[in-house]
Amino acid sequence: MIRLEINGKSQTFDLPGEMPLLWTLRDEMGLTGTKFGCGMALCGACTVLIDGQAVRSCITPIAAVTDKKIVTIEAVGTDPIGKALQEAWVDMGVPQCGYCQGGQIMSAAGLIKRSPKPTDADIDEAMSGNICRCGTYTRIRAAIKQVAAKQGGAR
């Protein structure tokens, strides 16, 4: 049995330890906000926060995260930075199809937690692992800057 702490709740699973966290969340728990896009950590759609860090869940075996705090897009709004990002995303009309945006927000949350005053280069580095095929990048950048500014990290 594998015990995972997801969005503040502890649960046990009878699943192989090498099973990726992504499919555990989606198929076994019904947390479908974390998306499948590539299965190889190439696109970022599956990004979750593990102990506050943005991690690609599609290549993360559940056996590797049994003693960590896992936060998905469904619960990121309970965190002030996550909530601010969600608000900015809505206000600035960032999403088009929206499929990748959960992963984008999780990567942005990881970025702002790590560097509250991100430069354009920081944003490029943190966000270039997240593909948006609709091409919302200019608005994602603007939304991150707006949140950083509101969090006191204006530049």
Partner 1 sequence: MNPPVDPVLRPDGDASLVRQLILANVSRRQFLRGMSLGGLVLAIGYPSSAKAEEAKKYGADDMPDGWVDDPLAFVSIDEDGTVTIVCHRSEMGQGVRTGMPMIVADELEADWKRVRVAQAPGDQKRFGNQDTDGSRSTRHFFEPMRRCGAAARTMLEMAAAERWKVPVSEVHAKNHEVVHRPTGRRLGYGSLAKAAASQPVPARETLRLKDPKQFRYIGKGQLKLVDGRDIVAGRAQYGIDTRLDGMLYAVVARPPVYGGKVASFDPAEALKVPGVERVVQIEDTPPPAVVNPLGGVAVIARNTWAAIQGRQALKVTWDDGPNAGYDSVAFKAALEEAARKPAKVVRNDGDFAAAAAGAARRHEAEYYVPHLAHATMEPPSAAARIANGKCEVWGCFQSPQLARDVVAKRLGMSADDVTVHVTLLGGGFGRKSMPDYGVEAAVLSKAMDGKPVKVTWTREDDLHHCYYHTVSVEHLEAAVDGKGKPVAWLHRTVAPTIISTFNAAAKNEAGFELGMGVINVPFAIRNVRIENPEATAHTRIGWFRSVSNIPHAFAIQSFVAELAAAAGRDPKDFLLEVIGPARQIRPQTLGDAWNHGEAPERYPVDTGRLRRVVETVAHKAGWGRKLPKRHGLGIAAHYSFLSYIAAVAEVAVDEEGELTIPRVDMAVDCGATVNPDRVRSQMEGACVMGVALATVGEISFKDGRVEQDNFHNYEVTRMEKAPREIHVHIIPGDFGKPLGGVGEPGVPPIPPALCNAIFAATGKRIRRLPIRGQLGPSSASTERP
The residue ranges that bind partner 1 (CB under 8 A) are: 16, 19-20, 23, 26-28, 30-40, 42-43, 45, 72-74, 77, 85-86, 89-91, 93, 95-102, 105, 120, 123-125, 127-141
Q: Residue 69 — left, alpha, or beta (φ > 0 → left; ψ -120 to 50 → alpha)?
A: beta
Q: Based on CB atoms, which residue is closest to partner 1, 5 or 28?
A: 28
Tell me how far, at minimum, the Cβ of 123 lies from partner 1, in Å. Answer: 7
Residue closer to partner 1 (CB basis): 98 or 153: 98
Shortest distance (Å) from residue 15 CB to partner 1: 8
CB 140 within 8 A of CB 94: yes
Complex with partner 1: residue 68 or 73, whichever CB lies closer: 73
> Cβ of residue 58: shortest distance to partner 1, in angstroms?
10
Buried b (16+ CB within 10 A) or exposed e, 70-102: bbbbbbbeebebbebbbebbeeeebbeeeebbb
We find the least distance from the C-beta atom of residue 75 to partner 1, in angstroms, to be 9
For residue 52, give both structure tokens. 């506050």
Amino acid identity for residue 136 in this structure? T
Strand partners for 71: 49
